[in-house]
C-alpha cells in the first residue's frame, strides 16, 4: 500500500490543503500523528488476524473478515455450500416461473394496439447473491 495511485498534482493539492488547514508550523506534527495512527491500526489488525488464526487453527487474512468470505473459505466445503444453496435455488426457480407465467398472462390480456413488454432477462439465484 503506497502512493502509486496518487499523481503529482494530487499530492501537491493534498499538501496545499494540509497547509491551509493546519498551517506551516503544525503540519509536520499532524502528519506524524496520522502516520502513527495508521501504524497503530495496522498493528491492531495484524494482532486480530493472528488471534483468529490461532483460535481457529487456520490462516486468516484481512479479506476473510467479511463473514460471507470467511464462511465460504474456512468453514464450508463446496459440497456444504451447494447443499445450503439448493433449497434457495429451487425456491427462486419456482418463484421465477410463477412471475414469468403471470407476466405472460398479463401480456395476453393487453389490447392489440398496446405493445407487448419484452420478457425479463433470465437470472439464477447465484446472480442475486
pLDDT number for residue 77: 73
Give the pLDDT of the chain (129 residues) as one tens digit per residue: 566 777 888 888 988 898 889 888 898 898 899 899 999 999 998 888 888 788 877 777 767 667 777 766 767 677 877 888 888 888 998 999 999 888 888 877 666 555 555 555 556 555 555
Count: domains in the chain: 2
pLDDT number for residue 33: 93
27 and 84, same structural domain?
no
pLDDT number for residue 111: 63
pLDDT number for residue 79: 81
pTM reported for the whole predicted model: 0.41
DSSP string for the chain: --STT--HHHHHHHHHHHHHHH-TTTHHHHHHHHHHHHHHHHHHHHHHHHHHHHHHTS---GGGGSHHHHIIIII--HHHHHHHHHHHHHHHHHHHHHHHHHHHHHHHHS-TTSPPPPPPPP--HHHH-
The residue segments making up the domain with residue 100 are 77-129
61 and 11, same structural domain?
yes
Last residue of a domain, one of 35, 57, 75: 75
62 and 83, same structural domain?
no
67 and 5, same structural domain?
yes
pLDDT number for residue 35: 92
61 and 15, same structural domain?
yes
62 and 5, same structural domain?
yes
Last residue of a domain, one of 34, 54, 75: 75
Amino acid at each position: 500500500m503506497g502512493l502509486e495511485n496518487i499523481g503529482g498534482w494530487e499530492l501537491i493539492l493534498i499538501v496545499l490543503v494540509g497547509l491551509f488547514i493546519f498551517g506551516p508550523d503544525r503540519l509536520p506534527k499532524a502528519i506524524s500523528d496520522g502516520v502513527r495512527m495508521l501504524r497503530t491500526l495496522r498493528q491492531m489488525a495484524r494482532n486480530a488476524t493472528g488471534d483468529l488464526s490461532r483460535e481457529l487453527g487456520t490462516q486468516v487474512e484481512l479479506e476473510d473478515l467479511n463473514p460471507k468470505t470467511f464462511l465460504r473459505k474456512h468453514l464450508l466445503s463446496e459440497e456444504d455450500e451447494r447443499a445450503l444453496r439448493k433449497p434457495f435455488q429451487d425456491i427462486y426457480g419456482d418463484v421465477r416461473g410463477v412471475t414469468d407465467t403471470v407476466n405472460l398472462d398479463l401480456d395476453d390480456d393487453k389490447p392489440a394496439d398496446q405493445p407487448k413488454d419484452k420478457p425479463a432477462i433470465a437470472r439464477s439465484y447465484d446472480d442475486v447473491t
